[in-house]
Structure 1
């Protein structure tokens, strides 16, 4: 399934603004939803993770009305064909697991590169 294409421009959290150097307010930043398309819940993007400890991944969840930061546990599902690859999304995420969600932009770039430089891509 393709990745959701929802994008949000989020202002920096107030605690970050309070810690910034006077006269150098942090800028707003864009986030792109990491979930599979056609999900029914809030959009989500991971902002940072502190060494994979339980609850250390901080995600932003947003909809048309508001955005909020949330520490979420990692989904513990492992890819059936490769037990070394974990999902990469949070527990209870909607739609498919991380390995089932394809970024259409990355896919298009990889396809173009494979046509231009086939010797760099394995034939499997």
Structure 2
């Protein structure tokens, strides 16, 4: 299964507000690790919004902040639980959010990466 190719810039101020809303603080160099662009992590042809993991919570390791956007680029941020499914060739946990569309992360293969 191929990954979705959707990408869009991350608006820094709404991202900062979403992080502050979720964990109440940002320390020192924390924002150096914040993304400036999103790349949809779902499978090509997925239904609904695109999604990309943008922030790990220090206080809630079973949840993360995800950017969700539509084809017009309108973005929102949502704190959701990680997918609890494990499997694949290495029995790894799925790196997508719970109740994501289509296949789990281990079933996504990027042809460009595989060619290299």
**TM-score, L = length of structure 2:** 0.73
Q: Larger relative CO (CA 8 A, sep 6+): 1 or 2?
A: 2
Uncovered stretches (5+) of structure 2, i.e. residues with no partner: 18-25, 27-34
Q: In structure 1, what is the equivalent of residue 78 of structure 2?
A: 70
Q: Which runs of 4+ in 1 moved over 2 A?
A: 13-17, 80-83
**2: CA distance between counterparts of 1:3 and 1:45?**
12
* Equivalent residues, number: 98
Alignment root-mean-square deviation, CA: 2.4
- Greater Cα radius of gyration, structure 1 or 2: 1
- For residue 87 of structure 1, report the CA deviation from its aligned partner: 0.7
Return 35-44 or 71-80, whichever deviates more. 71-80
- For residue 50 of structure 1, report the CA deviation from its aligned partner: 2.9
Which residue of the other structure, out of 77, 83, 99, is the alignment partner of 1:92? 99
